[in-house]
Amino acid sequence: MLNILSTSLGGLDLLASAVLILDTQGRIAYANAAAETLLDSSFKVFHGQRLSDLFINGERLVSIFEQAMQRQFDEKREDIVLERVGRHALHLNMVVSVIDDPDHPVLIELRENVQQVKLDREERILDQTQANKELIRNLAHEIKNPLGGIRGAAQLLELELPGQGLKDLREYTQVIIKESDRLQTLVDRLLAPHRRPQIVGDVNIHEVFERVRSLILAEFPQGLKIVRDYDLSLPEFRGDKEQLIQAVLNIAHNAAQALAPRIAQGDAELVLRTRIARSITIAKVRYRLALDLHIIDNGPGIPAELKDRIFYPLVSGRDGGSGLGLTLAQTFIQQHSGVIECESRPGLTDFRILIALP
Ligand SMILES: Nc1ncnc2c1ncn2[C@@H]1O[C@H](COP(=O)(O)OP(=O)(O)OP(=O)(O)O)[C@@H](O)[C@H]1O
Ligand SMILES: [Mg+2]
């Protein structure tokens, strides 16, 4: 009789998928390196434990294991979500095979279901954005109301101050007034997307891109090359042109700012690309066609510590940045049944805007 554990299993450590071999009680008798990575624990720790005990919802594993023990199948494939205490759930493609070893009869292969992980991540981001928006809007209103009062009071106070000799006091009131004005500007930007109703008309996306191009070139006239890579067959669509310009401009503006060192060297490049994409999922809805727009720069990339948060308000990696540009851009694009995604590494940052077409 075969004893699989006495054979050489070292080669399995080279596999990308996780492989686990279970004994007749469903306990883990072997795990390859990928399994340790996936389970985020070492074989030493879970050796001899029942696989189903590692998860909150292990019942499904128990029942599949029992079916395997009764030889109801030789091989079974299934998508499964396994939940763990205090960690992200694992979304997996699982293959359970019955093998010819009486002591270790079940081999399980697990691979992360990347598509599902991505969908879940997008869903989380979407929920979070929604909650954020609500919070910001309420907070901005709360700040806005007393702010006028504070500024007004400081002005009155200043008028009451006797003339000479009290310059110091006037400096204090000026600080209050200036800081109130700064906050006012911030709050106005926070509330901007909620203030003006959308003005919808026929939009040609290339007019939007061309406007952004000329605005960026006006600000960065030297050392920045803007490459236009347009698919001129793209259809017009219904949208708010000013909002779209603002969204694309915010992204392109960040890129140009990140390119500053390369602009100085003279090899900064910004690519504006327009394409059509088919069969796209945006915010859990599937669309047959979508605009697929890219703003790509060859700058240093987004700092690792910001990467997951760049679309959050007030997150900035720039001196003097208010961290609202991408938040606003995302809001505007979402109002067009779209989404902005970002991929970035040193030398290549690609902001992708998807907008659903009817
Ligand atoms: N193309 C890019 N390359 C490198 N970093 C980027 C890029 N785009 C965005 N970032 C980073 O993301 C941060 C957030 O951008 P965002 O536009 O939201 O805010 P900001 O530019 O800091 O301020 P604001 O746009 O409100 O003036 C930036 O500060 C920057 O660190
Ligand atoms: Mg910005």
How many Å apart are CA 103 and CA 23, to the nearest integer? 6
How many Å apart are CA 120 and CA 97, to the nearest integer? 28
For residue 116, the SS3 value is helix
How many Å apart are CA 17 and CA 118, to the nearest integer? 18
CB half-sphere exposure, 213, CA atoms < 13 A: 19
How many Å apart are CA 159 and CA 181, to the nearest integer? 18
DSSP classification of residue 236: P
- Each residue's pLDDT tens digit, 44-78: 999 999 999 999 999 999 999 999 999 999 999 99
Mean pLDDT for 227-231 is: 97
For ligand 1, atom 10, which residue shows the shortest CA distance?
302
Q: Tokens 């509330």, residue?
A: 191
Is the CB of residue 124 below 6 angstroms from any atom belonging to ligand 1? no
Q: Tokens 């939009």, residue?
A: 203
From the CA of 326, give the closest atom in ligand 1. Answer: 18
Question: How far apart are the CA of 348 and the centre of ligand 1, in A?
Answer: 15
Is the CB of residue 316 below 6 angstroms from any atom belonging to ligand 1? yes
165 pLDDT more than 70:
no
Mean pLDDT for 64-93 is: 91
How many Å apart are CA 22 and CA 29, to the nearest integer? 5
Tokens of 357: 């077409």
Mean pLDDT for 174-184 is: 92
- Each residue's pLDDT tens digit, 306-325: 998 899 888 999 988 888 89
Closest to 318 (Cα-Cα) out of 303, 298, 338? 303
How many Å apart are CA 254 and CA 302, to the nearest integer? 10
For ligand 1, atom 2, which residue shows the shortest CA distance?
255
